[in-house]
């Protein structure tokens, strides 16, 4: 992979300025968490590189889609546990899903 783990972590920090992550009271350092996931993504990318560029891109897109789906599910479950209504973005996504079902 052409980007280092630290450079990738820095990009995440920059994105978080506009779209912050609520780490709440997790007993882990935020930078350590960023580096942990960046290391994992770096390893996945390196392994996928052996498959050729097109397949590598497909693998990375699948990983990103899975992570976004997992994030959505966890977000909705957390809101449900807290008895809170869905926020506008989650409600919009679920409304679109409901509209596609027979």
Average pLDDT over residues 60-66: 93
What are the extents of the domains in the chain?
Answer: 1-50, 53-102
Strand, coil or helix: what is 48?
helix
Q: How far apart are alpha carbons 42 and 101 in whole angstroms?
A: 37
Give the pLDDT of residue 31.
Answer: 95
Give the pLDDT of residue 12.
Answer: 95
CA proximity to 15, closest of 7, 25, 24: 7
* Residues 6+ positions from 101 with CB-CB distance below 8 Å: none
What tens digit of pLDDT does each residue of 68-77 get? 889 888 888 9
Give the pLDDT of residue 1.
Answer: 64
Q: Helix H segments across the chain? A: 5-18, 30-49, 53-81, 88-100
Confidence check: pLDDT of 102 > 60: no
Percent of the chain with pLDDT over 70: 96
């Amino acid at each position: 992979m052409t980007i280092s783990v630290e450079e990738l972590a820095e990009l995440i920090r920059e994105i978080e300025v506009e779209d912050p992550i609520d780490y709440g009271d997790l007993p882990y350092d935020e930078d350590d968490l960023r580096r942990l996931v960046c290391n994992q993504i770096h390893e996945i990318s390196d392994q996928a590189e052996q498959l050729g560029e097109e397949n590598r891109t497909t693998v990375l897109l699948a990983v990103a889609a899975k992570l976004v789906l997992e994030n959505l599910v966890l977000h909705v479950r957390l809101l449900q546990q807290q008895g809170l209504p869905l926020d506008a973005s989650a409600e919009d996504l679920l409304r679109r899903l409901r509209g596609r079902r027979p």
